[in-house]
């Protein structure tokens, strides 16, 4: 699937096929594997799922999600109601530590607080993303701890990549840590492989940021 038309049509077909996405108002643009999603969707989960659907298509190297969430009137929640719902969801999630909080403004949630791992930060965002009335989520949660040795972080991430069933033995992915920031370089074949590498990097203790310089070959 190498041509611009082929990839665009395949993304259109995948969006139509996905039962979690209403693709009626989504317009797909593709330039050499860089796919842009324009238009509107009626919920934030559909906004997220549209990206996931496009990433499943062979030949897609990047997805730029420019979709706007336009909530139906029945899904509108005022700021106080949505803030309460979001904080309840955070409290009920066993993966999210105490001290993480959410505030809402016009359907836009902002998450704040401090966690020990990137996986906890991601869990907090996931916990509120599927709430009715959410238009967008801004994750301002900080990762705070005493960073471990950069050599140890490199080693632990590389060992995690070696264990992963999604990453081939001949992978050229390289892991470099500087001041608690991991930079990932090299090539991956699919978005599933890409996400496996990113997830492994965020699991390591001592990581406060992950720089994604991976190239998807398709």
Q: What is the CATH number of domain 150-216?
A: 3.30.1340.30
145 DSSP assignment: S
Q: CA–CA distance from 218 to each of 43, 61, 72, 132, 197 (Å)?
A: 29, 7, 37, 35, 16
For residue 95, is pLDDT > 90?
Answer: yes
β-strand 114-115 against 34-41: which pairing, if any? unpaired
Going by C-alpha positions, the residue among 64, 53, 61 that lies closest to residue 29 is 64
Q: Across 159-207, where does the E strand assignment appear?
A: 174-178, 181-188
% residues pLDDT > 90 (the chain): 71
Confidence of residue 149 (pLDDT cuts 50, 70, 90): very low
Average pLDDT, the chain: 91
Fold annotation for 4-69: 3.30.1340
The boundaries of every CATH 3.30.1340.30 domain in the chain are 4-69, 150-216
Residue 101 near residue 83 (C-beta atoms within 8 A): no
Residues in the chain: 218
Pick the CATH number of 74-143 from 3.30.460, 3.30.590, 3.30.1340, 3.40.720: 3.30.1340
Q: Which residue has the higher pLDDT, 178 or 89?
A: 89
| Per-residue buried b or exposed e for 152-181, using 16+ beta carbons within 10 Å of the residue's own CB | ebbebbeebbeeeebbeeebebebebeebe
């Amino acid at each position: 699937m190498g041509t611009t038309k082929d990839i665009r049509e395949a993304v259109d077909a995948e969006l139509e096929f996905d039962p979690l996405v209403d693709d009626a108002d989504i317009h797909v643009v593709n330039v050499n594997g860089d796919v842009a999603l324009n238009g509107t969707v009626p919920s934030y989960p559909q906004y997220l799922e549209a990206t996931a659907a496009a990433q499943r298509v062979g030949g897609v190297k990047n997805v730029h999600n420019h979709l706007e969430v336009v909530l139906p009137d029945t899904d509108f929640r005022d700021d106080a109601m949505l803030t309460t719902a979001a904080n309840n969801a955070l409290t009920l999630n066993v993966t999210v530590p105490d001290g993480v909080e959410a505030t809402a403004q016009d359907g836009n949630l902002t998450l704040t607080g401090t966690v020990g791992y990137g996986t906890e930060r991601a869990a907090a965002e996931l916990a509120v993303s599927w709430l009715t009335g959410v238009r967008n989520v801004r994750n301002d949660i900080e990762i705070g701890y005493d960073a471990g040795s950069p050599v140890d972080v490199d080693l632990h991430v590389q060992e995690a990549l070696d264990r992963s069933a999604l990453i081939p033995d001949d992978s050229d992915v390289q892991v470099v840590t500087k001041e608690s920031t991991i930079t990932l370089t090299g090539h991956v074949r699919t978005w599933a492989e890409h996400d496996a590498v990113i997830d492994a990097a965020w699991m390591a203790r001592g990581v406060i940021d992950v720089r994604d310089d991976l190239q998807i070959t398709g």
